[in-house]
Each structure stands twice: as structure tokens, then as C-alpha cells.
Amino acid sequence: MRISTDPGELDIALIHGFLSRETYWARSIPRDTLERALAHSICVGGYVDGAQVAFARAVTDQATFAYLADVFVLPADRGHGHGRAIVQALMDDPRLQGLRRWHLVTRDMQALYASLGWSALVEPALHMQRHDPDVYARPMHA
């Protein structure tokens, strides 16, 4: 798999289609919302034979913190280490070195992230969130 951080190579239709239809975390995300998110993130695409098969992004200030988001590998391309490779490539990006904290939320991929040095929150009671799971269902989400 070839990995690229060039935003011009990203297949936005593929990314939007997968995230909006196949994931529990971004189901029904409007395309314009996704495009804004990608524009304000460091994105990594994974390509096999010229076609995008994997994606990950970091929401970050590029100095102290990064949030790992929207990691996926297309079902037909799973089982080849592409998920691990794309996350590692993002973590190795020169713009993301020296960060004090990385964060992510996952329902089912703890083993993958643990193999890359991630761990459960040491003090989960210190972390809070403001979560609006139905935001994409409302007419005005801008």
C-alpha cells in the first residue's frame, strides 16, 4: 500500500460514502461537513493500484494535541495490515511529533491501537465530552 498526505489525492466521494453509510461514528454526515473537517485536519490516504482503500485523519493544533479520527480500511482490503500502516504513518507525520497527548474513541479496535502504543485512559473521570449524536439529522448543522 502506498501512503500519501497529499490532500489532492484523497477520493472525497469514497471517504464520504464510506463514513456516511458504513460507520457508527459518522453515519449520515453531510458531505459539506466532511469537507470542512478534512480541510482542517491532517489526512492520510492509503492506495493500492492507484485506488484509495484506507483513510485516517488527525484533528490537531500541531503542537500539543491530536485527535485520531475516521480511520477505516475498505472491507475488501482488510487483513493486510493497512489499518496499522495508515495509523502509524499519521503518527509518524513530521507535523505531529512532540505532541503531549493523542486521543481517540473506538468501539472495537482497542487491540490495533494497543499494538501501536495506545492505552485506555489512566484517569477517565478527568475527561469530559459534549456529545450530540443527532446533529446530522437536524436541518441546520453549520
Give the per-residue pLDDT at 140. Answer: 60
At 21-70, the pLDDT tens digits run 999 999 999 999 999 999 999 999 999 999 999 999 999 999 999 999 99
Read off the C-alpha cell for 8.
489532492
Span 111-140, average pLDDT: 89
Q: Give the model's pLDDT for residue 135.
A: 87
Q: Is the pTM of this model over 0.85?
A: yes
Is residue 61 within 8 Å of 98, Cβ to Cβ? no
- With a pLDDT cut of 90, the percent of the chain lying above it is 89
Q: CA quadruple 58, 61, 62, 67: dihedral positive or negative?
A: negative
